[in-house]
Amino acid sequence: MTTKRVVAEVFSAVSKKYDLFLKLITFGGIDSWQRDLLQMLSQEGNRLDVGTGTGEVLLKSQNRGLRVGMDLSLEMLRIARGKCKACRFLAGDAENMPFKEGVFGSITLSLVYRHLLNRKAFLKEAKRVLKGGGELGLLDINRFFLTPLLIFLMKYPLKPFGLMLFGKEKWDFFIHSLENSLSLEEVQKELSEEGFKVVEVQKRLFGLVYLLCCRKD
């Protein structure tokens, strides 16, 4: 079973090559997608970037308040701190945030939502730390028609190679993050069940990637 310790270890292990890897697998699209996500949000108030990784979203952010990044992985945070001196980075869990109520005008998650082990707990926390009318912006990968095939391949024929190369915990994490990826419709349903009103959705890369802005009701 995947745990937060494993999530932190996986991302710490790849932290040095993460930015390059992400640029390559998104064909360079990640920078413009993150900028477009930020454009969908109001620039007022403090901004929290959850699962900030190497801090790229906050680095691009033009909001007028504080820029705060939080992550489970200390190594990812170390890189983020080196990039943005004006931002504040801290280790913390999306599902149990160390902030008072209503302190943020917006929260962003870039490629994080499907890694959360308890999305409902996160949404409750997001609602708590957002001020009234505060916005939540998500950038993530849509579950697509090949996802079940990929999961099958990783669980059965590719498993021996995966275990040999990565070990059981990391291989289970890769499978879990695929199983945990939702369709855009499922994401919208979860958000509205937790009291967020979806205000804008955009798609990129033939619909494989979505950008979504919703507001605390």
List, in sequence order, the alpha helices (H) in the chain: 4-25, 30-39, 56-60, 74-83, 119-129, 147-155, 159-166, 168-179, 184-193
Position 106 contacts ligand SAM (CB under 6 A): no
Per DSSP, 55 falls in state S
Q: Which two tokens stand for residue 143?
A: 């579950």
Min dist CB 121 to ligand SAM, Å, is 9
Q: What is the distance between the alpha carbons of residues 187 and 185, in angstroms, rounded to a whole number?
A: 5
Position 137 contacts ligand SAM (CB under 6 A): no
Q: Which is nearer to ligand SAM, 57 or 68 (CB)?
A: 57
Position 115 contacts ligand SAM (CB under 6 A): yes
**Near ligand SAM in 2-61, by CB under 6 A:** 4, 7-8, 11, 22, 50-53, 56-57
Q: What is the distance between the alpha carbons of residues 156 and 7, in angstroms, rounded to a whole number?
A: 22
Min dist CB 179 to ligand SAM, Å, is 15
- The strands making up 67-71's β-sheet, listed across from edge to edge, are 88-91, 67-71, 47-50, 104-110, 130-141, 209-216, 196-204
**Contact region for ligand SAM (CB under 6 A) — 110-118, 183-191, 196-204, 208-216?**
110-118
Min dist CB 188 to ligand SAM, Å, is 21
Specify the residue for token string 């999961």: 151
Contact residues for ligand SAM, defined by CB under 6 A: 4, 7-8, 11, 22, 50-53, 56-57, 70-73, 76, 93-95, 110-112, 115-116
